[in-house]
């Protein structure tokens, strides 16, 4: 694909000084970098790109003189050349019939802009502290000027006095510190990028191939854009051979259409070959927008783990059949038609048959490997697909899927009339306040999941099962949202 990217230059004035003395030693000078805005630079004659301290800058090579000749670089001509840009073009000098202009240096490093702005703010804050402590403040500004063919930047000197104590701070290049709003826009674009896409800074264009098999990334970008559409101005541009690609550029709503204000650039390749059947459409009007599990529900819809719909009913209970589907799709368990009908109340005609059969065929073993057991048991004959599933029933299934082990230790508790051993569940204590209400066949699974940690998006470790204010509520019907989230957490740390 053709690369149509232009050179993005960040608009900032920069003065590089020597080592900076401790704050408010006499004649302190601070490197100032303020007023950031990106531009598409089309280099005029006499201008080159140079690298200064690892930053790309437009080098100031020539002063433009206008003496009436049509091909010279008047201010009008310069503005026309850079009509899509905001360039520092200042009239300097007063010689009759000779207007002198100069192009200031522009730096691309927006991270440095933030860092240097922080230094500037710190100095201003410290000045304010001195004033609050009884120092008087005097400011003297010197405008930039031209000496021969050399541009001398202006500066501002702040003098602080209290009795015999005098402090002096020199701010350099103050004559070009004139567009703080542009820096604010850059920061706003960065904040919006972080909020919507989770990216700290603008990276290379994201190319997504609409002819590809994996639509998860496409659906993720599509949803994030659609659900935040009111925050963006969107510019579309057909690109690539025969306009087969589509470049989508997102700007913060109402911001200037310059590179510094780009929130995200995405190139969708092979637009004509998009498979609409693979696109996930999540209605913006839905019943989970304000739900605590919205992120997990959306993630499951984007990945095809649950059906994309505006009605997820997150607070409703989930049936045993519905849970079987969620467990299979989230854990990635392959389903297929078999001749096995493991339960009397499950037939091949049922929509949930393949999920129940797959979980029945999925085996877990005891810790010593001496016994195997299906992930789902039912009551031996019936599965009860339409019954609401409880929290402790979900814990048993999830623990088996996550660890591949049966979390239900059995011991001999006696013998029957024929001398055969009678086996019973070991009572395992959990940390929950309602431990006595947890069935002995489930307590080991609950206790286990209360030790398995998963990583949150914030980078914190939490347990797969944490309960509610110290209670597990074992016999309570688990909600659709709770069931999905528990399975997602466990699947993220499943033992391979």
∠326-331-337 over CA atoms, to 5°? 70
Residue at which a domain ends, from 158, 176, 194: 176
For 429, 467, 475, the CA distances from 433, given in Å and listed in that order, are 10, 10, 14
The larger pLDDT score, comparing residue 56 to residue 239, is at 239
List CB contacts of 293: < 8 A, sequence separation 6 or more. Answer: 314, 481, 482, 484, 485
- Asked if residue 374 has pLDDT above 90, the reply is yes
- Asked if residue 486 has pLDDT above 70, the reply is yes
Structure tokens at 235: 């510019």
284 inside domain: no
List CB contacts of 34: < 8 A, sequence separation 6 or more. Answer: 12, 13, 113, 116, 117, 120, 177, 180, 183
Q: Is the pTM of this model over 0.75?
A: no
Locate tokens 């209670």: which residue?
471
101 inside domain: yes
Q: Work out the pLDDT band at 496, boundaries 50, 70, 90.
A: low
- The predicted pLDDT at position 387 comes to 96
Considering the domain architecture, whether residues 187 and 79 belong to the same structural domain is answered as no
Other Cβ atoms closer than 10 A to 390: 19
* Three-state secondary-structure class, residue 424: strand
310 inside domain: no
Given a contact cutoff of 8 angstroms between Cβ atoms, the answer to whether 302 and 220 are in contact is yes
The larger pLDDT score, comparing residue 174 to residue 28, is at 174
385 inside domain: yes
326 inside domain: yes
Region 282-299: mean pLDDT is 93
- Asked if residue 354 has pLDDT above 60, the reply is yes
Considering the domain architecture, whether residues 253 and 369 belong to the same structural domain is answered as no
Region 141-169: mean pLDDT is 69
Say how far apart CA 177 and CA 170 lie, in whole Å. Answer: 14
Which of the residue ranges 16-20, 133-137, 266-270 would you say has the lowest mean pLDDT? 16-20
- The predicted pLDDT at position 350 comes to 94
**Tens digit of each residue's pLDDT (9 = 90 or more) over 57-79:** 443 333 333 333 444 444 444 44
DSSP state of 21: P
Considering the domain architecture, whether residues 75 and 120 belong to the same structural domain is answered as yes
Residue at which a domain ends, from 124, 146, 176: 176
* Three-state secondary-structure class, residue 409: coil
Alpha helices in 229-361 (DSSP H): 294-302, 320-331, 353-361
Domain range for 144 is: 8-176
285 inside domain: no
- Asked if residue 480 has pLDDT above 90, the reply is yes
Locate tokens 């940690």: which residue?
453
Residue at which a domain ends, from 176, 201, 232: 176
Average pLDDT across the chain, whole number: 74
Considering the domain architecture, whether residues 171 and 191 belong to the same structural domain is answered as no
Considering the domain architecture, whether residues 153 and 215 belong to the same structural domain is answered as no
Greatest C-alpha distance within the chain: 122
- The predicted pLDDT at position 150 comes to 43
Region 4-24: mean pLDDT is 24
* Three-state secondary-structure class, residue 430: coil
List CB contacts of 163: < 8 A, sequence separation 6 or more. Answer: none
Structure tokens at 38: 């990106």
Considering the domain architecture, whether residues 469 and 395 belong to the same structural domain is answered as yes
Which of the residue ranges 31-35, 221-225, 363-367, 402-406 would you say has the lowest mean pLDDT? 31-35
Region 409-427: mean pLDDT is 84
Say how far apart CA 450 and CA 495 lie, in whole Å. Answer: 16
- The predicted pLDDT at position 169 comes to 77
Q: Work out the pLDDT band at 54, boundaries 50, 70, 90.
A: very low
Say how far apart CA 405 and CA 375 lie, in whole Å. Answer: 9
Say how far apart CA 491 and CA 331 lie, in whole Å. Answer: 6
Which of the residue ranges 159-163, 210-214, 294-298 would you say has the lowest mean pLDDT? 210-214
- Asked if residue 98 has pLDDT above 90, the reply is no
- Asked if residue 160 has pLDDT above 70, the reply is yes
Which of the residue ranges 85-99, 190-204, 272-286, 405-419 would you say has the lowest mean pLDDT? 85-99
- The predicted pLDDT at position 143 comes to 62
Considering the domain architecture, whether residues 235 and 87 belong to the same structural domain is answered as no
- The predicted pLDDT at position 178 comes to 34
- Asked if residue 120 has pLDDT above 80, the reply is no
- The predicted pLDDT at position 103 comes to 40
Q: Work out the pLDDT band at 261, boundaries 50, 70, 90.
A: confident
* Three-state secondary-structure class, residue 326: helix
283 inside domain: no
**Tens digit of each residue's pLDDT (9 = 90 or more) over 432-445:** 999 999 999 999 99
Considering the domain architecture, whether residues 118 and 62 belong to the same structural domain is answered as yes
Structure tokens at 223: 């949803």
Residue from 230, 164, 168 nearest 196 by CA: 230
Other Cβ atoms closer than 10 A to 290: 7
Which of the residue ranges 26-40, 129-143, 185-199, 372-386 would you say has the lowest mean pLDDT? 26-40
Given a contact cutoff of 8 angstroms between Cβ atoms, the answer to whether 478 and 389 are in contact is yes
Considering the domain architecture, whether residues 341 and 484 belong to the same structural domain is answered as yes
Structure tokens at 353: 């048959």
Which of the residue ranges 123-127, 140-144, 160-164, 281-285 would you say has the lowest mean pLDDT? 140-144
Region 102-118: mean pLDDT is 45
Considering the domain architecture, whether residues 395 and 344 belong to the same structural domain is answered as yes
Share of the chain above pLDDT 70, in %: 67
- The predicted pLDDT at position 209 comes to 77
357: part of which helix (H) or strand (E)?
helix 353-361
288 inside domain: no
Structure tokens at 105: 């240096």
Say how far apart CA 436 and CA 240 lie, in whole Å. Answer: 66
The larger pLDDT score, comparing residue 148 to residue 172, is at 172
Considering the domain architecture, whether residues 126 and 214 belong to the same structural domain is answered as no
Structure tokens at 36: 């950031």
- The predicted pLDDT at position 243 comes to 64
SS3 content of the chain, % helix, strand, coil (to 5): 30, 25, 45
The larger pLDDT score, comparing residue 121 to residue 377, is at 377
- The predicted pLDDT at position 491 comes to 95
Region 304-310: mean pLDDT is 92
List CB contacts of 373: < 8 A, sequence separation 6 or more. Answer: 363, 364, 365, 400, 406
Considering the domain architecture, whether residues 184 and 123 belong to the same structural domain is answered as no
- The predicted pLDDT at position 11 comes to 18
Q: What total number of domains does the chain contain?
A: 3
């Amino acid at each position: 694909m053709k690369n149509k990217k232009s050179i993005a230059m960040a608009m900032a004035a920069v003065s590089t000084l020597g080592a900076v003395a401790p704050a408010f030693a006499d004649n302190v000078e601070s490197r100032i970098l303020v007023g950031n805005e990106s531009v598409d630079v089309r280099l005029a004659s006499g201008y080159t790109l140079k690298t200064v301290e690892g930053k790309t800058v437009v080098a100031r090579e020539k002063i433009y003189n206008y003496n009436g000749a049509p091909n010279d670089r008047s201010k009008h001509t310069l503005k026309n050349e850079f009509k899509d840009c905001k360039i520092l073009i200042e009239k300097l000098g007063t010689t009759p019939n000779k207007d002198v202009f100069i192009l200031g240096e522009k730096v691309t490093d927006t991270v440095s802009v933030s860092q240097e702005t922080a230094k500037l703010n710190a100095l201003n804050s410290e000045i304010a502290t001195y004033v609050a402590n009884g120092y008087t403040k005097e400011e003297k500004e010197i405008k930039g000027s031209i000496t021969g063919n050399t541009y001398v930047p202006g500066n501002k000197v702040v003098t602080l006095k209290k009795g015999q104590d005098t402090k002096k701070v020199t701010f350099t290049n103050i004559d070009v510190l004139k567009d703080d709003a542009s820096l604010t826009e850059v920061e706003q674009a960065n904040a919006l990028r972080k909020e919507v896409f989770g990216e700290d800074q603008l990276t290379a264009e994201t190319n997504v191939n609409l002819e590809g098999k994996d639509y998860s990334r496409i659906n993720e970008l599509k949803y994030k854009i659609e659900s935040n559409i009111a925050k963006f101005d969107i510019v579309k541009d057909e690109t690539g051979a025969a306009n087969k690609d589509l470049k989508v550029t997102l700007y913060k709503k109402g911001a200037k259409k310059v590179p510094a204000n780009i929130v995200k650039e995405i190139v969708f390749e092979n637009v004509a070959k998009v498979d609409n059947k693979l696109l996930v459409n999540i209605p913006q009007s839905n019943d989970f927008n304000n739900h605590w599990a919205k992120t997990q529900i959306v993630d499951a819809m984007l990945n095809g783990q649950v059906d994309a719909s505006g009605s997820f009913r997150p607070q409703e209970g989930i049936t045993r059949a519905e849970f079987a589907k969620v467990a299979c799709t989230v854990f990635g368990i392959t389903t297929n038609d078999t001749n096995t009908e493991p339960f009397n109340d499950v037939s091949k005609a049922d929509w949930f048959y393949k999920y129940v059969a797959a979980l029945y065929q999925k085996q877990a073993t005891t810790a010593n490997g001496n016994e195997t057991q299906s992930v789902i048991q039912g009551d031996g004959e019936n599965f009860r697909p339409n019954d609401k599933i409880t929290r402790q029933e979900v814990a048993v299934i999830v623990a088996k899927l996550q660890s591949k082990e049966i979390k239900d230790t059995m011991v001999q508790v006696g013998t029957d009339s024929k001398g055969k051993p009678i086996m019973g569940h070991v009572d395992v204590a959990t940390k929950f306040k309602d431990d006595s209400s947890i069935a002995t066949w489930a307590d080991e699974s609950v206790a286990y999941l209360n030790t398995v940690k998963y990583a949150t998006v914030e980078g914190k470790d939490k347990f797969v099962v944490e309960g509610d204010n110290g209670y597990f509520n074992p016999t309570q019907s688990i909600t659709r949202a709770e069931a999905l989230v528990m399975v997602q957490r466990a699947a993220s740390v499943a033992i391979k």
